[in-house]
């Protein structure tokens, strides 16, 4: 039996030696690994924060893009109508007979006179509208005085 006990003692001693070596290596490596894990946790938290900020910015950009698309959809028919009107004017200009300089000067003079007359008419209509508004207010005031 002594060889059995000897073997058992040698095995225990060998196991303690191996355990000691493993613990020694772990004591060296575990703090390094813990530091790396802590650093990775901080990086992950920072990345999550930055990703959240980027997603919020992206959602804002998507809102701006939706608004811009809506405005484009609203403006496109108007631009198309203006282009059609411009093309119609080009066609009319191409069909206009060529005039000499005195005729152009007379035409410009007539246009200026028409514009002047339109301005005077607008002034007169504004005056009439103000006069009618004053009459309406006086009639309302007079009607309110009679009703009392």
List, for residues 51-86, the tens digit of each pLDDT value. Answer: 999 999 889 898 888 999 999 888 898 888 989 988
Is there a domain that residue 35 lies in?
A: no
Residue 92: predicted pLDDT: 77
Domain span at 113: 99-148
Whether the predicted model's global pTM rises above the 0.85 cut? no
Are residues 77 and 69 in contact, defined by beta-carbon separation less than 8 angstroms? no
Task: Give whole-number Cα distances, 43 to 34, 46, 47, 52, 60, in Å.
Answer: 14, 5, 6, 14, 26
71 assigned to some structural domain: no
Distances (CA, A) of 139 to 85, 132, 135, 144, 146: 46, 10, 6, 8, 10
**Residue percentage of the chain with pLDDT more than 90:** 19
Residue 128 lies in a domain: yes
Residue at 110 is within a domain: yes
Residues counted in the chain: 148
Answer yes or no: is 70 within a domain. no
- In this predicted structure, what is the pLDDT of residue 52? 93
Residue 140 lies in a domain: yes
Query: Residue 74: inside a domain, yes or no?
Result: no
Looking up tokens 């575990």, which residue turns up? 30
Position 11 scores a pLDDT of 86
How far is 17 from 26, CA to CA, in rounded Å? 14
Extract the tokens encoding 65. 């893009």
Is 37 within the bounds of a domain?
no
Instruction: Give the number of domains in the chain.
Output: 1
pLDDT digits (tens, 9 = 90+) for 83-137: 998 888 888 777 766 667 888 888 889 889 999 999 999 898 988 988 888 888 8
């Amino acid at each position: 039996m002594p060889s059995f006990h000897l073997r058992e003692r040698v095995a225990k001693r060998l196991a303690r030696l191996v355990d000691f070596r493993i613990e020694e290596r772990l004591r060296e490596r575990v703090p390094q690994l813990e530091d790396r894990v802590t650093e990775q946790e901080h990086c992950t938290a920072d990345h999550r924060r930055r990703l959240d900020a980027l997603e919020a910015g992206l959602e804002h950009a998507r809102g701006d893009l939706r608004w811009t698309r809506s405005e484009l959809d609203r403006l496109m028919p108007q631009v198309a109508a203006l282009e059609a009107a411009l093309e119609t004017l080009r066609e009319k200009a191409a069909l206009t007979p060529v005039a000499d300089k005195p005729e152009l000067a007379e035409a410009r003079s007539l246009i200026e006179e028409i514009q002047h007359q339109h301005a005077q008419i607008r002034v007169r209509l504004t005056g009439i509208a103000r006069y009618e508004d004053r009459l309406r207010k006086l009639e309302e005031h007079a009607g309110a005085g009679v009703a009392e």
